[in-house]
Structure 1
Amino acid sequence: MKNLFRTLVKTNPNLGFSIARMTLGLVIFPHGAQKLLGLFGGYGYSATIEMFTTQMGLPSIIAFSVIMIEFFGSISLVLGLFSRFWALSLIGMFLGIIFTTQLQHGFFYELVRQPSR
């Protein structure tokens, strides 16, 4: 059990990995802050949970998990706390996003939604 804990909290001292980890955390943080706190133009926790469960049909535990992974996972990645756990959680979350919403629209979904110029 002690070795498992050490493995989870161990952070690679490689500068490249550290930059990648911090960049990912900084990129994901605003999305989590939108969903949990309503910052950066977000709607906050209650509205996000409601949207995920009513409009998207996701179970409330999945909606809660997405919010927690994006917010606390991004902060933990920047700080280097349990990086492996949070990185795996983000991979799972992104795979869920791909297969539940993005796959049917393709890679350029955001460009399709833009009005014609």
Structure 2
Amino acid sequence: MASAFGTTRLSPQQDPAPSAPDAHDVGLLVLRVCLGIVMAAHGAQKLFGWFGGGGLEGTEMFFESVGYPMAGAMALLTAVIETFGGLALIVGLLTPLAAAAAFGTMLNAISVKWGGGFFLPDGLEYEITLAALAAGIALTGPGRLAIDRGLPVLRDHRLSHGAAAVALGALVAGLVLLIRN
């Protein structure tokens, strides 16, 4: 369907024969895979000590040093969320929740690094970019090149799904920050 602003996308209910994935879907795939790889790799650093990471012991010591209570449990929880949330983003599985997990994790990372300025070496630009990317994916949805397309509940992504996921990520991040010393 055409409009004054270009082509209007039809929902699967309106379009009896959905076409092949388009540039929008391929672009979302690229964004999901890139964010997913970054998150999964950071999680693997924490969980397994891969890629030069400190493993759970090093992550626990870091979390303790920046004021998280139950640092061991928080280290494990963060490592699992980052690893499996990243993998879920890569394949497009439960994308709004996976993106919300990345968003909430990055909000916590931003709060830990707050005061270091925007640019490197201890800046916030990396964490802010990842948080914005995660929120954008949650709001936009996974595109048609995702496992979510085969799940009846998530087949037709709605802005409300994404907004709820972003709000959930922010809420959980806020609760975690409230218990941080």
Cα RMSD of the aligned pairs, angstroms, is 1.9
Contact 1:35 1:43 in 2 (8 A): yes
Cα offset, 1:109, TM superposition: 3.9
Q: Give TM-score, length-normalised by structure 2.
A: 0.49
Higher fraction of helix: 1
Contact 1:30 1:40 in 2 (8 A): yes
Runs of 4+ residues deviating >4 angstroms:
none
Q: Could you tell me which runs of 5 or more consecutive residues in structure 1 were left unpaired when the two chains were aligned.
A: 1-12, 113-117
Among candidates 9, 15, 29, match of residue 26 of structure 2: 15
Identity of aligned residues (%): 37
How many equivalent residue pairs? Answer: 98
Among candidates 15, 36, 46, match of residue 47 of structure 2: 36
Determine the C-alpha separation between the residues in 2 that align with 1:46 and 1:111: 23
Q: Could you tell me which runs of 5 or more consecutive residues in structure 2 were left unpaired when the two chains were aligned.
A: 1-20, 124-181
Residue of structure 2 in register with 1:80 after alignment: 92
Q: Give TM-score, length-normalised by structure 1.
A: 0.72
Computing the radius of gyration from Cα coordinates, the structure with the larger value is 2
Determine the C-alpha separation between the residues in 1 that align with 2:75 and 2:49: 15
Secondary structure in 2 matching 1:40: helix
Determine the C-alpha separation between the residues in 1 that align with 2:120 and 2:114: 9
Q: Which amino acid aligns with 1:108?
A: F
